[in-house]
């Protein structure tokens, strides 16, 4: 593979173990690929780049330098890590003169066939992978997967490849601009971070290639039409093709195992793959780092930033001007104090969403994410309390799915 091929992922520090597994997998497959870690966080104590599989660190603050605190505050953690993907892509093109750039979500593992992706991109401006490449054959599959793709985006933006040609750069600039302003999980407005924007890519840009091979971006949302055979030792095949890369989406929430049990019963090797992935993440520091709290999830006084604070702030230019650093908390002159003193300005999020016509399932999913953030934050909670919260999060996710919630991320 040519030296001008680059790859990157975007994380907060609690995802370092997963990013390490991904980076190692790429380096083992194609050592010549330069791998960049985009970080929206502080590095953990003891981090040594020289001993890591990453070639460099790109900080979100350096990508979005203008009014960064105001901009970052308007994004929850997942939104933030996603929102910088486009400007990071532009940065890699301009700084490293990269010919081809591939983005991979941190919860992916590459098992091979990067050369195939490079060959696809050699004649395209953009390469994408859809959530599904074959029609579902059951009502459950339609609801779980096809309806979810209609709701959350046809293409899974856990992967995208872009070539440094005129049309590829035109896509890159457009994507970066949209994500800087509109990368929000806001389904009532038709937004789901970066995914739904790229529904428009084949309409706006030439030479967009859709990879329909079943061996790429394999995940629980397409297992109903993809059967895995082989072994970890001899190699895994997907519908008879060598596996390219696997996506462990929904791992932390418990959604991954729920859907794997539902759709992967005929592919027992995928359960062994899951066990292998758990062990690999652990080997790379999951127990130590997986519960780290991001620097952008809390106010300066340590209080967790609920979604309501973020949504109102990003909607109100007057508040942005009055409180240029909304993370700062203390006294009566900060944004947090103003927000807490003006409850009439911010009706409960759940009520707003239900009134907007979003199913109760989506509200339950929001609650699950909120309580999961408490688990991650820790905050001195006892082991018993953390276990109780984890159980409650799993209950909320299962209830949300029973009510019809489907999430492709």
With beta carbons less than 8 A apart as the criterion, state whether 175 and 89 touch: yes
> Is 277 in the same domain as 362?
no
Tell me the percentage of the chain whose pLDDT exceeds 70: 89
Contact between 372 and 253 (Cβ < 8 Å): yes
User: Are 88 and 220 in the same domain?
Assistant: yes
309 within a domain of the structure (yes/no): no
Q: What pLDDT does 187 receive?
A: 85
Lowest mean per-residue pLDDT among 27-41, 78-92, 348-362: 348-362
Q: For the chain, what is the mean pLDDT?
A: 89
Helix residue spans in 30-165 (DSSP H): 60-63, 68-73, 77-83, 85-96, 114-122, 139-141, 147-152
Q: Which of 21, 53, 28, 47 is closest to 278 using CA atoms? A: 21
Confidence of residue 351 (pLDDT cuts 50, 70, 90): very low
> Does residue 281 belong to any structural domain of this protein?
yes
Residue 294 pLDDT greater than 50, yes or no: yes
Confidence of residue 84 (pLDDT cuts 50, 70, 90): very high
Query: How would DSSP label each residue in 70-106?
Result: HHHHTS-HHHHHHHTHHHHHHHHHHHH--SEEEEE-T
Those residues whose C-beta lies under 8 Å from the C-beta of residue 166, and which sit 6 or more positions away, are none
**41 & 188 share domain:** yes
Q: Read off the pLDDT of residues 390-400 as tens digits, 9 standing for 90 and up.
A: 778 778 777 77
Looking at residue 189, what is its pLDDT?
85
| Contact indicator for 230, 236 with CB cutoff of 8 Å | yes
User: Does residue 299 lie in a domain region?
Assistant: no
Instruction: Taking residues 197-225, report their average pLDDT.
Output: 97
Dihedral angle of Cα 359, 362, 364, 370, to the nearest 10 degrees = -150
Residues 250 and 380 in one domain: no
Residue 358 to residue 351: CA distance in whole angstroms = 10
The count of domains in the chain is 2
Domain boundary among 288, 309, 333: 288
Domain shared by 94 and 167, yes or no:
yes
- Please enumerate in sequence order all residues whose Cβ is within 8 A of that of 397, keeping only pairs 6 or more positions apart, or say none: 253, 254, 255, 258, 364, 365, 368
Of 264, 288, 312, the position where a domain reaches its end is: 288
Q: What does the pLDDT average to over 170-192?
A: 93
Please check whether residue 342 lies inside any domain of the structure.
no
Domain assignment present for residue 104? The answer is yes
Angle at which helices 166-182 and 85-96 cross, to 10°: 140
Residues 277 and 353 in one domain: no
Task: Give residue 360's pLDDT band: very low, low, confident or very high (50, 70, 90).
Answer: low
Q: Which domain holds residue 218?
A: 5-288
Relative orientation angle of helices 255-263 and 269-283, to the nearest 10 degrees: 160
Query: What average pLDDT does range 289-313 have in this prediction?
Result: 94
Quote the tokens at residue 120: 């696809």
**Model pLDDT, residue 375:** 61
Residue 97 resides in a domain: yes
**pLDDT for the residue 357:** 41
pLDDT for 349 equals 52
Q: Are residues 279 and 130 in the same domain?
A: yes
Residues 260, 255: Cα–Cα separation, whole Å: 8
- Tell me the CATH number at 223: 3.90.550.10
Q: What percent of the chain has pLDDT over 90?
A: 74
Rounded to whole angstroms, the Cα distance separating 230 from 232 reads: 7
Query: How much is the pLDDT for 127?
Result: 98
* Backbone conformation region of residue 113, classed left if phi is above 0, alpha if psi is from -120 to 50, else beta: left
Query: Which residue did the predictor score with more confidence, 156 or 393?
Result: 156
What global pTM score does this model have?
0.84
Q: Are residues 70 and 219 in the same domain?
A: yes
In DSSP terms, which residues pair with 163 in a beta bridge? Answer: 100
More confident residue, 370 or 235: 235
- pLDDT, tens digit, 9 for 90 and up, residues 113-147: 999 999 999 999 999 999 999 999 999 889 989 99
Q: Which of 224-228, 262-266, 269-273 has the lowest mean pLDDT?
A: 262-266
Describe the strand order of the beta sheet including 108-110 as a list of residue ranges. 108-110, 245-247, 216-218
Asked if 214 and 351 sit in the same domain, the reply is no
Give the model's pLDDT for residue 71: 95
CA 204 vs. chain centroid, Å, equals 24
Closest-CA residue to 163 (of 226, 113, 118, 100): 100
Q: Above 90 in pLDDT, residue 361?
A: no
Closest to 132 measured CA to CA, from 112, 152, 113: 152
Q: Domain check: are 178 and 34 in the same one?
A: yes
Tell me what the mean pLDDT of segment 319-340 comes to: 94
* Final residue before a domain boundary, out of 288, 305, 335: 288
Does residue 402 surpass a pLDDT of 70? no
pLDDT of residue 333: 92
Burial class (CB in 10 A: 0-12, 13-18, 19+), 337: middle
Number of helical H runs and strand E runs in the chain? 19, 15
Task: Please tell me the distance from the alpha carbon of residue 409 to that of residue 403, in angstroms, as a whole number.
Answer: 19
pLDDT at position 389 is 76
Q: Which helix (H) or strand (E) holds 317?
A: helix 317-322
Pair (252, 359) in one structural domain: no
Q: Does residue 312 fall inside a structural domain?
A: no
Rounded Cα–Cα distance for residues 36 and 9 (Å): 7
Judgement on whether residues 266 and 373 belong to the same structural domain of the protein: no
Tell me whether residue 318 is in a domain: no
The pLDDT value recorded for residue 317 is: 92
């Amino acid at each position: 593979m040519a030296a001008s091929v680059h790859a990157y992922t975007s994380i907060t520090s609690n995802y370092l173990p997963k990013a390490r597994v991904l980076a190692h997998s790429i380096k083992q497959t194609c050592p010549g690929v330069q791998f960049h870690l985009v970080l929206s966080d502080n590095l953990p104590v003891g981090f040594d780049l020289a001993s890591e599989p990453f070639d460099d660190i790109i900080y979100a603050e350096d990508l979005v330098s203008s009014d960064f605190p105001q901009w970052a505050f308007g994004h929850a953690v997942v939104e933030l890590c996603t929102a910088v993907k486009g400007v990071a892509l532009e940065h890699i093109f301009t700084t490293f003169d990269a010919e081809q750039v591939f983005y991979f979500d941190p919860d992916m593992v590459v098992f091979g066939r990067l050369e195939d992706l490079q060959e696809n991109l050699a004649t395209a401006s953009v390469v994408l992978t859809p959530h599904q490449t074959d029609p579902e054959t059951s009502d459950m599959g339609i609801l779980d997967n096809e309806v979810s793709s209609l709701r959350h985006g046809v293409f899974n933006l856990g992967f995208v490849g872009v070539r440094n040609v005129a049309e590829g750069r035109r896509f890159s600039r457009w994507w970066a601009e949209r994500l800087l302003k509109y990368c929000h999980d806001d389904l009532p407005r038709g937004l789901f971070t970066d995914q739904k924007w790229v529904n428009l890519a084949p309409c706006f840009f030439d030479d967009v290639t859709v990879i329909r091979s079943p061996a790429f971006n394999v995940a629980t949302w397409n297992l109903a039409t993809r059967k895995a055979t082989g072994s970890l030792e001899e190699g895994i095949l997907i519908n008879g093709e060598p596996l390219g890369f696997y996506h462990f989406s929904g791992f932390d929430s418990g959604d991954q195992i729920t859907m794997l049990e539902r759709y992967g019963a005929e592919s027992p090797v995928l359960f062994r793959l899951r066990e292998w992935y758990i062990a690999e993440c652990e080997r790379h520091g999951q127990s130590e780092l997986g519960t780290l709290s991001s620097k952008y999830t809390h106010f300066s006084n340590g209080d967790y930033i609920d979604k309501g604070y973020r949504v109102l702030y990003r909607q109100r230019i007057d508040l942005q001007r009055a409180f240029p650093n909304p993370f700062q908390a203390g006294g009566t002159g900060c944004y947090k104090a103003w927000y807490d003193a003006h409850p009439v300005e911010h009706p409960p999020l759940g009520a707003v969403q239900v009134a907007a016509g979003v199913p109760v399932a989506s509200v339950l999913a929001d609650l699950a994410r909120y309580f999961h953030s408490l688990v991650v934050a820790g905050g001195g909670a006892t082991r018993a309390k953390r276990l109780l919260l984890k159980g409650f999060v799993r209950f909320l996710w299962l209830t949300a799915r029973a009510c019809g919630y489907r999430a492709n991320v």
